[in-house]
Structure 1
Amino acid sequence: MNHIVHSSILHDIGKAEIPEGILYKPGPLSPYERKIIEMHPLMGSDILNKISREINNDVISSLEVAENILLHHHGKWDGTGYPHRLKGEDIPLEARIVAIVDVLMH
């Protein structure tokens, strides 16, 4: 559980790569802008992988949990989520937990 708590802090780190004009756009997003937003889990995974190459193995298990959260916190049980369209129990448990918390906090 501690891995989930600590790793969940990073769940939207990929948004750092999204242009502010898209990220904070006041109105509805265009289909292109929506695709850009939906890339933030992949961008976050790339950031995390760059970080993980620089640190030692003691932290790797936490980073694996963090990567699952980064990539899959927008997954939907029915497979309509993004970016990998996983469904049901194929979505890692830690990502399902953070997805619930993310919805409740927003």
Structure 2
Amino acid sequence: MGDHGAMYVPENLLPVYKNKVVPLADILTPNQFEAELLTGRKINTEDDAVKVMDLLHEMGPDTVVLTSTDLLSKHGDQFLVALGSQKISKVLSVFFPQQG
């Protein structure tokens, strides 16, 4: 749908994604911007990300993976942070190097 604060699709499609597409999904892989759009919640901390993933689970998907976030890694800012969760299990964090 978008990234870095910009939509790739017309804004009027957001309700379609939110109300029709997401509830049908088994697995949802939004980036941080898309997750924030779908839930109306900002992600500033890992706790915020977990709450947003919980909200996305409530919308339907069993598995949610935030494919990239602006969260700072414990390993420094040269790493992107991805987080994933399933309705029945804990959150998994993955750190991978950013390409320069």
Common fold by TM > 0.5: no
TM-score (norm 2): 0.31
Q: Which has the higher helix share?
A: 1
Question: Which protein has the bigger strand share?
Answer: 2
TM-score, normalisation: structure 1: 0.30
